[in-house]
Amino acid sequence: MSRTSPSGAITVDIIVYPGFKAMEAVGPMSVFEYANLHLQRKGQAAGYDVRVAAERVGPVRSDTLMSLEASKAFNQLALPDNAIIVGARHIDAALAEGRALVDWVAAAAPRIGQLTALCSGAFFLAAAGVLDGQRATTHWSVAERLRTEYPAVDVDADAIFVRSGAIWTSAGVTAGIDLALALVERDFGRELALEVATEMVVFLKRPGGQSQFSAHLLSERTTRPNIRELQAWILDNLHQRLPVAQLAERAMMSERHFARVFQQEVGMSTQEFIEASRFERATRLLASLDLPLKTVAARACFHDEAHMRRVFMKKLGITPKMYRERFVTTGVGAEAAA
């Protein structure tokens, strides 16, 4: 980091504007505050100097009844080590009214240590041109729009968070906590990040490449009752082979029609859905239970441990063993790690 406070702490500006998502601001703020508390308990100085910044000093209304008091106006003369721009439910209005923030991002980008955008906050970075040629993510609901309006941005619509050089972007709301925990781990080590996660009773930490989606959520979003019922049945029968012919028969459709309808409704093929469901089950087992990998593979209904390893490498670029080391819950897994 290039611009620490006089105390040596890493300076972080959480940048808000009218209509910002309250939880996206408060979540990372809490992570940094708990990091400071745990450092002080160890007799060390606070690691982060966090401020709320806005176009003007004063209260800024969020998307809830809550307002945050901005103690600093963002400007070019007092850049933080890391500027975190939160998202908004109504990003159109936020961008229309936030031209000053876009201009500030464009001017600050070459000189600031790190730029971070949470959820739809990525649109401020994209509008400033700093995401051109960069890989980035945002909330799945606006990912296609980001890709369409800013074709120079390499949008990863599935990731929890993405780092591209000095630019970090995340998916919606709670993904900002994952990103903040990743920053604590980077800045002060895994032990402190785990202590913060335990204090907040959250996971440490979903890897950035983990999917924003779960099989259960995908089944809830399906509009056709017969496809939704079939998805629920698949989740209960992952131990079977589940060929397309069997699934089509269960849905009372021809194979060709069924494959087309399933793809339209779910956004993936049946085999992709089955693989994602087994993968999701494996991640839960790895995170919460101290089981041998061979047992995890069996319980997640993979053919064998090698099959599970291939799926993890394809989806995350890491092995199940590495996933377990990075992703520990505050329950059994955390106790075992301690």
Domains with residue ranges and CATH for the chain: 10-200 (3.40.50.880), 215-334 (1.10.10.60)
Taking a C-beta distance cutoff of 8 angstroms, is the pair 22, 63 a contact? yes
Fill in the DSSP letter of residue 46: P
> Can you tell me the distance from the alpha carbon of 156 to that of 27, in angstroms, rounded to the nearest whole number?
23
**Do the strands 48-54 and 72-73 form a parallel or antiparallel pair, or are they unpaired?**
parallel
- What is the sign of the dihedral through the CA atoms of 220, 226, 231 and 236? positive
Handedness of CA 78, 138, 30, 97 (dihedral sign): positive
Residues in the chain: 338
Residue 220 binned pLDDT confidence (cut-offs 50, 70, 90):
low
Task: Output 287 or 192, whichever has higher pLDDT.
Answer: 192
Secondary structure of residue 273 in the 3-state scheme: helix
Residue 39's nearest CA partner among 3, 9, 80, 81 is: 9
pLDDT digits (tens, 9 = 90+) for 262-283: 998 888 899 999 998 999 889 8
Q: Convert the pLDDT of each residue in 82-135 to its tens digit.
A: 999 999 999 999 999 999 999 999 999 999 999 999 999 999 999 999 999 999
The pTM for the full model equals 0.66
Residues 6+ apart with CB under 8 A from 275: 311
Q: Write down the pLDDT at residue 124.
A: 97
Q: For residue 105, what are its two tokens?
A: 């991002």
On whether the CB atoms of residues 173 and 24 are closer than 8 A, the answer is yes
The pLDDT value given to residue 218: 55
pLDDT 10s digits, 40-76? 999 999 999 999 999 999 999 999 999 999 999 999 8
Check residue 337 and give its pLDDT: 29
- C-beta of residue 7 within 8 angstroms of C-beta of residue 46: yes
Could you tell me if 229 and 206 are in contact, meaning their C-beta atoms sit under 8 angstroms apart?
A: no
Mean pLDDT of all residues in the chain? 87
Query: So what's the pLDDT on residue 88?
Result: 95
193 burial via Cβ count (<10 Å: 0-12, 13-18, 19+): buried
Q: Contact at 8 Å (CB) between 82 and 116?
A: yes
